[in-house]
Amino acid sequence: MAQHLRQVERALEDFLAPHAPPQSAWAAPTDLNNAMRYAVLDGGKRLRPLLVLAAFEAVSGTPAGGEDAAPLCAACAVELIHAYSLVHDDMPCMDNDVLRRGKPTVHVQFGQAGALLAGDALQTLAFEVLTPLDASVEPAVQARLCAILARASGRVGMAGGQAIDLSSVGLALTEDSLRHMHQLKTGALLQASVMMGAACGTASAAALQALEAYGQAIGLAFQVVDDVLDVTADSATLGKTAGKDANNDKPTYVALMGLERSRAYAATLAGEAHAALRASGLPDTAALAALANMVIHRDH
Amino acid sequence: MAQHLRQVERALEDFLAPHAPPQSAWAAPTDLNNAMRYAVLDGGKRLRPLLVLAAFEAVSGTPAGGEDAAPLCAACAVELIHAYSLVHDDMPCMDNDVLRRGKPTVHVQFGQAGALLAGDALQTLAFEVLTPLDASVEPAVQARLCAILARASGRVGMAGGQAIDLSSVGLALTEDSLRHMHQLKTGALLQASVMMGAACGTASAAALQALEAYGQAIGLAFQVVDDVLDVTADSATLGKTAGKDANNDKPTYVALMGLERSRAYAATLAGEAHAALRASGLPDTAALAALANMVIHRDH
């Protein structure tokens, strides 16, 4: 996992380097590039990239970071989408937050227009990263990765979940509605991370189905734990403002089922994730299992 | 051209339909989908989609709208990117405009958070449209289209140009700097429209080079004419606020070289575009020539 983290950090640094990208006549404007770097580098658990790389290794039996650039491109692309969503979610017209990853949020540091543009350009960069102009990723794999990522990020994925979140402030959602919101808002991208890693290799239909179930379980578990931490952790540990969901009157698992039942539910979901891995028929799912545990036992 | 317009309008309507997209378990949330539809449908010259379809027909000799879905997907994708950029550019932290295509802007109608999310989701939808899950577009073409569109839209394209625009308020730019800004902000996506149309067919290297020159000339001409119209047309004709560049102290061609020299420059650029088409060796470039004239002679 430590090696994967180093690979991801180095690749993100490369993709956000200040010089002109391959085959481009120009570099990105300095202000914009600085805001993009600020949003992405030096922080973040990199859970999504780690899921991509672990899923790739589970289906392929090959270490990520070899000649095939696809897994690392996919890992970075999904992190860029995640970073863009945080930049826009923190803006004053959304959650209006000033603290993220222990630092002032992007709009505090670069202004609202700067944050808006940096988020926009980070989203675009994800699709640039998935479609390198050299021959390092098979075109069919590029297309498949773009297809998965776009659907997980857009109106029937992350952005859709965010829209439901916005319109749910002050409402008492049913458990089904809450699950639906979170499957879109957080779950879709976490699940997509797993499926993108698998798409960089070759997996049987049964293994893909098991990985889909694993991704869905950890996606939901992640959000349940998020809701628990929002109530139980402090801002310094979280690196973001604690208690803000409760303060903003947002529907959460803790509000719906209380702290203890939420914790138990997260553990149940982790159990489902492990069961899916056992059912996958894949020979080595230890890294995916470790990531499921990390989702449950994280303190931020 | 009228037939192309009908094809594009129908396809955009399909892509933004309220029901769940193919192979998705869910439809987009209604509020979000409504804001996206409002931003895209019922308005717009559709210049970029028309360029895609005309370029495809020029290189392939085949009418767009046949069995190969690629040209129409590319046409819609580039219009979705254009629409997202307008939604975000109009927001209070950017140009703070209330009128677009003769209607209240998206944030006036749906709130700032709604506009932010709708723009985000429109950008994502562009990449969804380029990667259909059925076999209607060759995977290698999907990958190529995503690669071109992402580079033209992001930090070394449209978003980069917008960032330069933001930081240029009140500055007296040189002609070189002004051209650089506009090549990124407006030119890159117009040129990409031409190159995406060509990428849906097969073109010689010489033809591609000529189309690139054509795209660059009309891209710049478009912006020069935009600057002229900002000063000479009224808001009702433009469908957006007239005189806003001058009022916002933005560098423009009119400010740099005056009205008459700007008009002459636009005509020179149109001449370059026509010359590039003649040099392309392509048998039928009448539609592309007509679009170059439309760029110059438009009144809004």
User: A233-242, A289-298, B45-54: which range is least confident on average?
Assistant: A233-242
Q: How buried is residue B120: exposed, middle or buried, by Cβ count under 10 Å (0-12/13-18/19+)?
A: buried
Query: Residue B112: its pLDDT value, please?
Result: 98
B144:A140 CB<8 A: no
Query: Residue B300: its pLDDT value, please?
Result: 82
* Gap between the Cα atoms of A247 and B115, Å rounded: 24
Indicate whether A250 pLDDT > 90: no
Chain A residues whose beta carbon lies within 8 Å of the beta carbon of residue B125: 150, 154-155
**Other residues' Cβ atoms within 10 Å of the Cβ of residue A218:** 31
What is the pLDDT averaged over residues A159-187?
A: 91
Which residue's entry shows tokens 């658990």? A45
Interface of B with A in 51-90 (CB under 8 A): 84, 88
What amino acid occupies position B237? T
Element (H, E) at A99: strand A99-100
A155:B94 CB<8 A: no
B150:A29 CB<8 A: no
Please calculate the CA angle A284-A289-A295 and round it to the nearest 5 degrees: 155
Query: Residue B107: its pLDDT value, please?
Result: 98
User: A31-35, A181-185, B248-252: which range is least confident on average?
Assistant: B248-252
Interface of A with B in 14-33 (CB under 8 A): 20-21, 24-29, 31-33
Residue A184 sits at the chain B interface (C-beta within 8 Å): yes
Q: What is the pLDDT of residues A160-170, one digit of tens each?
A: 999 999 998 88
Chain A residues whose beta carbon lies within 8 Å of the beta carbon of residue B105: none
- Computed over every residue of chain A, the mean pLDDT equals 94
Query: Residue B66: its pLDDT value, please?
Result: 82
What is the pLDDT averaged over residues B178-189?
A: 94
Contact A198/A145 with Cβ under 8 angstroms?
A: no
Residue B216: both structure tokens together? 């660059």
- Interface probe for B, chosen from A24, A31, A32 (most Cβ of B below 10 Å), is A32
Contact A21/B156 with Cβ under 8 angstroms?
A: yes
Query: Residue A181: its pLDDT value, please?
Result: 93
Residue B111's DSSP bridge partners are: none
Chain B residues whose beta carbon lies within 8 Å of the beta carbon of residue A32: 155, 159-160, 163
Query: Residue B133: its pLDDT value, please?
Result: 95
What is the pLDDT averaged over residues B30-50?
A: 94
What crossing angle do the helices spanning B47-60 and B2-15 adopt, rounded to 10°?
A: 120
Separation in Å, CA of B286 to nearest CA in chain A:
30
How many beta-carbon contacts under 8 Å exist across A and B? 185
Eight-state DSSP code of residue A233: S
Indicate whether A72 pLDDT > 80: yes
What amino acid occupies position A47? L
Query: Residue A145: its pLDDT value, please?
Result: 98
* DSSP, residue by residue, chain B: -HHHHHHHHHHHHHHT-SSPPTT-SSPPPHHHHHHHHHHHSS----HHHHHHHHHHHHHH-S-TTSS--HHHHHHHHHHHHHHHHHHHHTSTTTT---EETTEE-HHHHHHHHHHHHHHHHHHHHHHHHTS-SSSSS-HHHHHHHHHHHHHHHSTTTHHHHHHHHHHTTT----HHHHHHHHIIIIIHHHHHHHHHHHHTS---HHHHHHHHHHHHHHHHHHHHHHHHHHHHS-HHHHSS-TTHHHHTT---HHHHHHHHHHHHHHHHHHHHHHHHHHHT--S--HHHHHHHHHHHH---
Contact B31/A169 with Cβ under 8 angstroms?
A: no
* Gap between the Cα atoms of B47 and B297, Å rounded: 13
Query: Residue A49: its pLDDT value, please?
Result: 98
Residue A141: both structure tokens together? 């794999």
* Gap between the Cα atoms of B120 and B15, Å rounded: 16
* Gap between the Cα atoms of B182 and B250, Å rounded: 12
Element (H, E) at A191: helix A188-199
- Phi-psi label, residue A100: left if phi above 0, alpha if psi -120 to 50, beta otherwise: beta
Higher pLDDT, A43 or A220: A220
Query: Residue A291: its pLDDT value, please?
Result: 97
Contact A58/A206 with Cβ under 8 angstroms?
A: no
Q: Collect all residues with Cβ–Cβ distance below 8 Å to B194 and sequence separation of at least 6.
A: B51, B52, B55, B211, B212, B214, B215, B218, B288
Chain A residues whose beta carbon lies within 8 Å of the beta carbon of residue B146: 127, 130-131, 142-143, 146
Overall domain count for chain B? 1
Separation in Å, CA of A262 to nearest CA in chain B:
26
Indicate whether B247 pLDDT > 80: no
User: A183-187, B42-46, B178-182: which range is least confident on average?
Assistant: B42-46
Contact B141/B62 with Cβ under 8 angstroms?
A: no
Residue B46: both structure tokens together? 């559709």
What percentage of chain B exceeds 90 in pLDDT? Answer: 80
> What ranges in A104-153 are assigned the alpha helix state H?
106-129, 139-153
**In Å, what is the CA distance from B227 to each residue of B97, B104, B186, B241?**
17, 22, 12, 13
Indicate whether A42 pLDDT > 80: no
Residue A212's domain comprises 2-297
Residue A133 sits at the chain B interface (C-beta within 8 Å): yes
Which residue's entry shows tokens 């149109």? B270
Interface of A with B in 83-122 (CB under 8 A): 84, 88, 91, 93-94, 111-114, 116-117, 119-121
- Computed over every residue of chain B, the mean pLDDT equals 94
Residue A93's closest CA among A119, A125, A122, A126? Answer: A119
* Chain B residue with the nearest C-alpha to that of A95: B113
* Gap between the Cα atoms of B55 and B71, Å rounded: 9
Interface of B with A in 34-53 (CB under 8 A): 36
What is the pLDDT averaged over residues B135-144?
A: 96
What is the pLDDT averaged over residues A175-204?
A: 95
Residue A208's closest CA among A197, A221, A219? Answer: A197
Indicate whether B170 pLDDT > 90: no
A147:B159 CB<8 A: no
Chain A residues whose beta carbon lies within 8 Å of the beta carbon of residue B94: 113, 116
A120:B123 CB<8 A: yes
For A104, the 3-state DSSP assignment is strand
At B169, the pLDDT band (50, 70, 90 cuts) reads confident
What is the CATH classification number for the domain harbouring B260?
A: 1.10.600.10
* Chain B residue with the nearest C-alpha to that of A131: B147
A159:B127 CB<8 A: no
B154:A128 CB<8 A: yes
Residue A100's DSSP bridge partners are: A103
Query: Residue B47: its pLDDT value, please?
Result: 97
Q: Collect all residues with Cβ–Cβ distance below 8 Å to B157 and sequence separation of at least 6.
A: A124, B151, B184, B188, B189, B192
Indicate whether A71 pLDDT > 90: yes
Phi, psi of B99 (to 5 degrees): -130, 130
